[in-house]
Amino acid sequence: MSNTSAKRPSLILSLVPVIFLMGLLIFNIILFKDDATGGPNQLALLAAGALATIIGIFVQKVAYSDIENQIVKSISVAIQATLILLVVGSLIGTWILSGVVPAMIYYGLQLIHPAVILPVCALVCAIVALATGSSWSTTGTVGVALIGIGQAMGIPLGMVAGAIVSGAYFGDKMSPLSDTTNLAPAMAGTDLFTHIRYMVYTTVPAFVLALILFTILGLFQNHDGAAIGSIPEVLTQIKSVFNIGPHLFLVPASIIVMVILRVPALPAMILGTVFGGVCALMFQQELIAKMIGTDFSLISGYKVLMGAAYNGFSFESGNKLIDGLFNRGGMSGMFGTVTLILMAMIFGGAMEGTGMLQRIAESILGMVKGVGSLIGATLASSIFLNMTASDQYLAILIPGRMFKRAYDQYGLHPKNLSRALEDAGTVTSPLIPWNSCGAYEAGVMGVATLEYAPYAFFNYLSPIISAFLAGFDIGIERSSVKTAPSESDAEGVELA
């Protein structure tokens, strides 16, 4: 709050918009179920943001211009994410039309047994995300194909998506190429590889336990025998609709290479969309001719390509399973997710612009009484900010600024702070439907956040193991002995 005449909000007042939002969201989920993200939750976030703004103006005497500026700043943080989301929608549409996604599903159905698909999904996504440093690129490309494989096998999509998210966020968290993996040590004051090595103690056990749970879940899952028995028919149908071949894997390989070479995500995804379009015009001419109803030409190909990129792939093959697998994607299909992210940013910006977000965070810091509670408070703050600020980066940035002095005063090495920021801030973001990460994952995979969240085992286990180690003071490294912070230290923390 830059307005010097503004009153500092009380904790109770700061919690009013949060409680109001939680109540509306719960009511929407009960009433609308999976359709809650199709408009009701967006309006709930907007209403909660409006309530925070009204309280800020009339109770705290904050200038509306200050709140509006913070809302604009908050939205600007999410602009890149929304652009990537829109481009990924187009990428999915062109990759299906080009045969890239069908090829992944075609070969995957032959290589992966239904009993082990869940741990395989987690491992494959972990490897790709570790190599690329991007959970979003992983789920938006390989993850889409794995969803199709799981669907063809009759595996509940919530389980498949949970395994995909678990693997993608493990790889993202441990990759030196990841933006959040670089951000956390920068905020804490330690170096990148010290941070990554220290995360091994919480992250690897969490992922191993998740793999065990996925294996057990897969082995004891009652697979849909009819769906499994129809796999040969699905393979035949895919071959009859698309021109399938290993050469199509050059397109996703190009994305992986670009990300490894540190090409920013947005241009990499745009180029991936273009490559998919070129492949469609080169290798799927027969399919395009069927879709347009005339002989293939560059003009007809261009029309079909633009339709797939914007509205998604749409083709009636006569097989319901095939149509269900591939009739998806497109930029327009991401509009609901984009509005959810924007409304979440409005709420988070209003909370931050009125000082309510900072007041709640400071109250959490004020409850710290020792090393265990300090790390626990860091984890809780990151999770809380993922729920209220709705942005993964803010869930790392704000606690990083807020707790840094306290870690020094308790004589803790900065890597304890950086690890805690990632153990909660990075991995819990896709579990929240209105968080930019949760909205993105649901949008690209076509599986509601609340449907896959119960099965994203790694994303729960990571903060739980971190809290366990902190509570029992296991492997908590000290730097030097210093005086514990007083309550006045907590009150004097500058967050903005």
Answer with the residue of higher pLDDT: 65 or 78: 65
Instruction: Give dist(CA 459, CA 169) in Å, integer.
Output: 8
| Bridge partners, residue 412, by sequence | 478
Listed residue (455, 461, 430) closest to 162, CA to CA: 455
Token digits of residue 50: 């409006």
* pLDDT on residue 288: 95
* pLDDT on residue 490: 43
Q: For the residues 207-221, what does the mean pLDDT come to?
A: 94
Token digits of residue 107: 């070969």
1: confidence class by pLDDT, cuts 50, 70, 90: low
Number of helical (H) and strand (E) elements in the chain, helices listed first: 26, 0
* pLDDT on residue 204: 97
Over 90: is that where the pLDDT of 344 sits?
no
| Tens-place pLDDT, residues 248-271 | 999 999 988 887 787 888 898 899
Q: In whole angstroms, how far apart are CA 491 and each of 131, 221, 337, 338, 494?
A: 42, 52, 37, 36, 9
Answer with the residue of higher pLDDT: 320 or 56: 56
Q: What is the largest CA-CA distance in the chain?
A: 79
For residue 486, the 8-state DSSP code is P
CB distance 458 to 199 below 8 Å: no
Answer with the residue of higher pLDDT: 459 or 78: 459
CB distance 357 to 15 below 8 Å: no
| Tens-place pLDDT, residues 289-304 | 999 988 999 999 999 9
* pLDDT on residue 6: 75
Q: For the residues 179-200, what does the mean pLDDT come to?
A: 90
pTM: 0.84
Over 50: is that where the pLDDT of 494 sits?
no
* pLDDT on residue 487: 44
Over 80: is that where the pLDDT of 491 sits?
no
Token digits of residue 450: 């609340």
CB distance 91 to 272 below 8 Å: yes
* pLDDT on residue 229: 57
Q: For the residues 322-330, what does the mean pLDDT come to?
A: 86
* pLDDT on residue 375: 95
Residue 5's CB is within 10 A of a number of other CB atoms, namely: 9
216: confidence class by pLDDT, cuts 50, 70, 90: very high
CB distance 207 to 161 below 8 Å: no
CB distance 47 to 33 below 8 Å: no
For the chain, the distance separating the N- and C-terminal CA atoms, rounded to the nearest angstrom, is 8
Determine the angle formed by the axes of helices 392-409 and 179-188, rounding to 10 degrees: 30
Over 70: is that where the pLDDT of 23 sits?
yes
Over 80: is that where the pLDDT of 34 sits?
no
Mean pLDDT (the chain) is 89
Instruction: Give dist(CA 416, CA 484) in Å, integer.
Output: 16
Instruction: Give dist(CA 174, CA 145) in Å, integer.
Output: 23
Token digits of residue 184: 């956390």
Answer with the residue of higher pLDDT: 71 or 325: 71
| Tens-place pLDDT, residues 224-242 | 554 555 678 889 989 999 9
Length of the chain: 496
Over 90: is that where the pLDDT of 187 sits?
no
Over 80: is that where the pLDDT of 123 sits?
yes
* pLDDT on residue 496: 37
Residue 479 sits at φ, ψ, to 5 deg, of -105, -45
* pLDDT on residue 488: 42
Token digits of residue 467: 């809290």
Instruction: Give dist(CA 187, CA 95) in Å, integer.
Output: 38
Q: For the residues 134-159, what does the mean pLDDT come to?
A: 91
| Tens-place pLDDT, residues 363-419 | 888 888 889 999 999 999 999 989 988 888 888 988 988 888 889 989 999 999 999
| Tens-place pLDDT, residues 405-454 | 889 989 999 999 999 999 999 999 999 998 989 999 999 999 999 999 99
* pLDDT on residue 44: 92
Token digits of residue 366: 């004020």
Over 50: is that where the pLDDT of 492 sits?
no
Over 60: is that where the pLDDT of 481 sits?
no
Instruction: Give dist(CA 335, CA 341) in Å, integer.
Output: 10
* pLDDT on residue 486: 47
CB distance 281 to 321 below 8 Å: no
Over 70: is that where the pLDDT of 281 sits?
yes
What share of the chain has pLDDT > 70, as a percent?
94
Q: For the residues 464-484, what does the mean pLDDT come to?
A: 83
